[in-house]
């Protein structure tokens, strides 16, 4: 079965993108970079407590790829904590998982990033008749990610 490789769906972008040890001047500080898909792997495996298989499905990657991303992420964070480095979260190779909505009034359909709030009104006619699009329902039930990465490319650089 053909499936885009390495799509690495991320459901929510990080709210905080920089961590720094207290009392160390920035000039003396080493910095490590955690890619956004590595952040997502940590979130799914270590915060949500998912096994690697379902976590890999959520991100739309193989279990092996997920394991690799998670291992790199943990080593990066360990390096920062043990060696007193700052952590910058940015970049990487990922797409945002998107949810599709449809307005039952005017028929307008649009997509919203997975982590964003559910839209309160249709952006076209401003009426509150907002529903998850039909073709999106199975997606929510089956678990986000699998083969359905239609999202935009994630930020690749320091444009935060
Ligand atoms: Zn509408």
What is residue 36's predicted lDDT score, i.e. its pLDDT? 94
How many whole angstroms from 99 Cα to the centroid of ligand 1? Answer: 17
How many A from CA of 140 to the centre of ligand 1? Answer: 22
pLDDT at 137: 43
Query: Which secondary structure element, helix H or strand E, spans residue 72, and what is its range?
Result: helix 63-83
* CA 103 to ligand 1 centroid distance, Å: 5
CA of 112 to the centre of ligand 1 (A): 15
Average pLDDT over residues 14-43: 93
The whole-number pLDDT of residue 6 equals 58
- CA 52 from chain centre, in angstroms, equals 16
User: What is the per-residue pLDDT for 26?
Assistant: 84
Q: What does pLDDT average to over the chain?
A: 82
> 132 CA distance to ligand 1 centroid (A)?
13
Q: What is the pLDDT of residues 41-100, one digit of tens each?
A: 999 999 999 999 999 999 999 999 999 999 999 999 999 999 999 999 998 888 888 888
Residue 80 confidence (pLDDT): 97
The pTM assigned to this predicted structure is: 0.68
User: Ligand 1 mean position to 116 CA, how many Å?
Assistant: 19
Nearest by Cα to 79 from 22, 21, 40, 37: 21
Neighbours of ion ligand 1 (CB under 5 A): 103, 105-106, 108, 122, 124-125
């Amino acid at each position: 079965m053909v499936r885009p490789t390495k799509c690495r769906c991320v459901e929510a972008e990080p709210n905080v993108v920089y961590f720094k040890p207290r009392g160390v001047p920035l000039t003396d500080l080493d910095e490590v970079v955690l890619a956004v898909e590595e952040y997502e792997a940590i979130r799914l495996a270590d915060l949500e407590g998912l096994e690697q298989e379902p976590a890999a499905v959520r991100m739309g990657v193989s279990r092996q790829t997920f394991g690799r991303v998670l291992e790199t992420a943990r080593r990066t964070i360990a390096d920062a904590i043990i060696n007193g480095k700052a952590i910058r979260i940015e970049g990487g190779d990922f797409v945002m998982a998107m949810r599709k909505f449809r307005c039952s009034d005017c028929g307008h359909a649009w997509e919203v990033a997975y982590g964003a709030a559910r839209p309160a009104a249709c952006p076209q006619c401003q009426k509150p008749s907002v529903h998850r699009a039909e073709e999106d329902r199975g997606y929510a039930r089956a678990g986000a990610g699998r083969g359905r990465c239609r999202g935009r490319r994630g930020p690749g650089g320091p444009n935060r």
